[in-house]
Chain A
Amino acid sequence: MSERASGPSTRSVADVFARCRAEGRGALVGYLPAGYPTVDGAVELLTAMSEGGCDLLEVGVPYSDPVMDGPTIQAAADTALRNGFRLRDVFGTIERVSAAGGNCLVMTYFNPVLRYGVDRFAADLAAAGGLGLITPDLIPDEADDWFAASDKYGLSRTFLVSPSSTDERIASTTAASSGFVYATSIMGVTGARDSVNAAAGEIVGRTRPHTSLPIGVGLGVRSGDQAAEIAGFADGVIVGSAFVSAAEQGGPDAVRALARELAAGVARAGLPQPA
């Protein structure tokens, strides 16, 4: 049973954030690598995350050299690749999860996209029902081909801002983004952490004046309370490693339960207050 508000099918990332806002809350964004532990297994897990309350799904592309990821997601990517994940499987995954009601973005290191062809990747992603791309190792400075392709196929471009970003770079990076902006809350790689770093509020506060786009915060969230804390100042709460761990320990039931807990935390916080 879907616990999300039912409504017309979502056509864009902006629609998702707008609908959440209309419900008086922020958005919950959940990450899982495609192909983990298998292609079919990931479809089931992502669908369960959506049913549990993830407003957006980041479908990860397993990659051989994930330099922004900690041990949990590295291991999951390894598992997916060992089990035969191929890049083209990401499109089938998105098609199936979208058909089951999920709103899918792709999160990927950029070399697989370069190899596939930026235009061709964008075309196939849009055709599969994907809403956009999050690019953790692509900065706008190198993204000319992606600007052209994302405009052509109507896909959102989420670039990352970091606590180390200068105000000038926050301005240029948010100006280059669409859909939402991804703020990394801490300096470091992905992985669940016990407490929300004070830098999270700071980076959102520094980013807000530069953009009207929703701002999502990621890196380290694993509990409903942490989700509520972040939803107090951010428009989106992004959770990755905790879903991977839950999937490993308890499969679809566990990720659905985690999504429920996190979604409840996000709902409890209401709309974000200015930092």
Chain B
Amino acid sequence: MSSSTSVRASSQVTASQGIETPSGHEPDERGHFGRFGGRWVPEALVAALDELETAYEKARHDPEFLAELDRLHRDYTGRPSPLTDVPKLSQHAGGARILLKREDLNHTGSHKINNVLGQALLTKRMGKKRVIAETGAGQHGVATATACALLDLECVVYMGEVDTRRQALNVARMRLLGATVIPVKTGSRTLKDAINEALRDWVTNVDSTHYLLGTVAGPHPFPQMVRDFHRVIGLEARAQVLERTGRLPTAIAACVGGGSNAIGIFHAFLDDPGVRLVGFEPGGDGVETGRHGATLSEGSPGALHGAFSYLLQDEDGQTAESYSISAGLDYPGVGPEHALLKDLGRAEYQPVTDAEAMDAFALLCRTEGIIPAIESAHAVAGALRLGKELGPDAVILVNLSGRGDKDVDTAAKWFGMIGQDESAEAADGTAIAEGATQQRSGSFADPGSETEGIQA
């Protein structure tokens, strides 16, 4: 292959390379990505953000920190995560070759651990003893609770009450890990409101507390730092794809809520102009219904949660309520670097509806034996769409950002295995089995069909 594709062997890629080596796509000194990003925060938080920025800049050049991060990611997270060929899924994508980057196989079940271990180590370095976090699907909360257990930090997780219901399993996991989970009962009671409460806590307790933000949104330095902790995804995947296929991928598919897994895999390919970068946003019931979370596709520029970026808002600048079947994507904002990539045209963003995502979810379960997180199922659905468009010569790299154990309840309801008021844990297993048998004509049994799910 050409010299532009020469990189380290995948076995030589380490997490620390993502933070030690600048990507060449840095924000300005005040954290602006073009007109986006920056610090749209109360003055009370500026000192803590400065402290964090200083600690991060120091740590990223400290061999001891880098070695510790790499050791944890190798021995605890299980990096590098594998690259999986999925030929049977590919048959449903116009024959394009689909490769899954298996972040779902990381310890705690998603890409979130990449960032969490980095920030938890920084918390120790800053001498802070208490960590707060927001969570939507619970993946970031579980990863944070895990790192806090490992590193002896007090952990408080804010989670919207709606999300504590639809992700009950992850609430239990966090509590088992010793975290305090606070259900947030204000506003829309989802991720946006969990972030509001976490910010209120941080303003009050900033001396003793680190806010371990879980995505590439928020005030500087979070979008840059969280991105850097996730760059390992793309660095590994780029080397793995080259080794496996002898070429760069045609396109990359990732789901976008706040945008952390997408920026993590996109970043290693920003300077490969031939590689299409496509982010798939939660289309919910369809963007035409207004019930969605497709911030980049449908939103407009504004300031929310500390950054200037795209957001879903009404004409008075009030944040609109987002909706998605996926708690982890159900957010009316998005990271500022994605906003820049959209404006530059370097990345494109498309909505995927709940129904499309759940069809892809079913398909991946049945064809490849992989139960994806519903968030990641949006990326799988996107890859199917891209494959049909690009044809059999295409290689499509999908960031399978998380696994679907947490979503069994939601999926069992969607596919009519249990009633809307039941939980999978509490339901009668025989009824689930027989219910599933009776529903064989539905989309779950026949994933290639055009039906939109058997609950209808």
Per the bound structure, the CA–CA distance linking A162 and B44 in Å amounts to 5
Q: Cβ of A68 < 8 Å from any Cβ of B?
A: yes
* Mask of B72-111 contacts with A, CB within 8 angstroms, 1/0: 0000000000000000000000000000000000000000
* Mask of B156-196 contacts with A, CB within 8 angstroms, 1/0: 00000000000000000000000000000011000010001
Q: Is the CB of A67 within 8 A of B46?
A: no
Per the bound structure, the CA–CA distance linking A189 and B315 in Å amounts to 27
Choose from B48, B186, B199, B317 the contact partner of A164 (Cβ within 8 Å). Answer: B48
A-B contact count (CB 8 A): 109
Q: Cβ of B287 < 8 Å from any Cβ of A?
A: no
Cβ-closest chain A residue relative to B50:
A166
Per the bound structure, the CA–CA distance linking A160 and B45 in Å amounts to 11
Q: Is the CB of B40 within 8 A of A115?
A: no
Choose from A110, A112, A169, A184 the contact partner of B46 (Cβ within 8 Å). Answer: A169
- Give chain A interface residues in 60-97, CB to chain B under 8 Å: 63-68, 70, 74, 81, 86-87
Q: Cβ of A138 < 8 Å from any Cβ of B?
A: yes
Cβ-closest chain B residue relative to A87:
B316
Per the bound structure, the CA–CA distance linking A141 and B31 in Å amounts to 11
The listed residue with most B CB atoms (<10 A of its CB), out of A64, A111, A116, is A64
Interface range on chain A: under 10, 10 to 19, 20 to 34, or 35 or more? 35 or more
Per the bound structure, the CA–CA distance linking A23 and B44 in Å amounts to 33
Q: Is the CB of A115 within 8 A of B302?
A: yes
CB neighbours (8 Å) of A161 from chain B are 43
CB neighbours (8 Å) of A66 from chain B are 196
Per the bound structure, the CA–CA distance linking A115 and B319 in Å amounts to 11
CB neighbours (8 Å) of A148 from chain B are none
Q: Cβ of A226 < 8 Å from any Cβ of B?
A: no
Q: Cβ of A173 < 8 Å from any Cβ of B?
A: yes
CB neighbours (8 Å) of B303 from chain A are 110-111, 114, 137
Per the bound structure, the CA–CA distance linking A76 and B207 in Å amounts to 29
Q: List the interface of chain B (C-beta within 8 A of A).
A: 30, 38-48, 186-187, 192, 196, 199-200, 203-207, 300-305, 308, 313, 315-319
Per the bound structure, the CA–CA distance linking A159 and B47 in Å amounts to 16
Per the bound structure, the CA–CA distance linking A188 and B45 in Å amounts to 10
Cβ-closest chain B residue relative to A140:
B43
Per the bound structure, the CA–CA distance linking A162 and B186 in Å amounts to 26
Cβ-closest chain B residue relative to A139:
B43
Cβ-closest chain A residue relative to B319:
A64
Give the shortest distance, in Å, between B106 (CB) and chain A (any CB).
31
CB neighbours (8 Å) of B40 from chain A are 110, 137-138, 142
CB neighbours (8 Å) of A275 from chain B are none
CB neighbours (8 Å) of A99 from chain B are none
Q: Is the CB of B43 within 8 A of A67?
A: no
Q: Is the CB of B204 within 8 A of A86?
A: no
CB neighbours (8 Å) of A189 from chain B are 200, 203-204
CB neighbours (8 Å) of A74 from chain B are 186
Q: Cβ of A187 < 8 Å from any Cβ of B?
A: yes
Q: List the interface of chain A (C-beta within 8 A of B).
A: 63-68, 70, 74, 81, 86-87, 110-116, 136-139, 141-142, 159-166, 169, 173, 184, 187-189
Per the bound structure, the CA–CA distance linking A65 and B301 in Å amounts to 16
Q: Is the CB of B196 within 8 A of A67?
A: yes
Per the bound structure, the CA–CA distance linking A67 and B44 in Å amounts to 12
Give the shortest distance, in Å, between B420 (CB) and chain A (any CB).
28
Q: Is the CB of A160 within 8 A of B203?
A: no
CB neighbours (8 Å) of B319 from chain A are 64-65, 111
Cβ-closest chain B residue relative to A159:
B43
Per the bound structure, the CA–CA distance linking A187 and B202 in Å amounts to 9
Choose from A64, A138, A141, A187 the contact partner of B203 (Cβ within 8 Å). Answer: A187
CB neighbours (8 Å) of A65 from chain B are 187, 192, 196, 304-305, 319
Q: A164-B44, A165-B46 are in contact. List 7 more A-B contacts (CB 8 A).
A: A63-B317, A111-B302, A113-B317, A139-B43, A142-B308, A162-B42, A184-B44
Choose from B42, B48, B301 the contact partner of A68 (Cβ within 8 Å). Answer: B42
CB neighbours (8 Å) of B308 from chain A are 142
Q: Is the CB of B39 within 8 A of A141?
A: yes
Per the bound structure, the CA–CA distance linking A187 and B313 in Å amounts to 29
CB neighbours (8 Å) of A114 from chain B are 301-303, 317
Choose from B39, B204, B305, B317 the contact partner of A116 (Cβ within 8 Å). Answer: B317
CB neighbours (8 Å) of B38 from chain A are 141-142
Show 21 A/B contacts (Cβ-Cβ < 8 Å), sorted by A: A63-B317, A63-B318, A64-B318, A64-B319, A65-B187, A65-B196, A65-B304, A68-B42, A68-B203, A111-B304, A112-B317, A115-B316, A116-B316, A139-B43, A142-B39, A160-B44, A161-B43, A164-B47, A187-B204, A187-B205, A187-B207
CB neighbours (8 Å) of A115 from chain B are 300, 302, 313, 315-317
Give the shortest distance, in Å, between A33 (CB) and chain B (any CB).
13
Q: Is the CB of A169 within 8 A of B204?
A: no
The listed residue with most A CB atoms (<10 A of its CB), out of B41, B187, B192, B319, is B41
Give the shortest distance, in Å, between B139 (CB) and chain A (any CB).
23
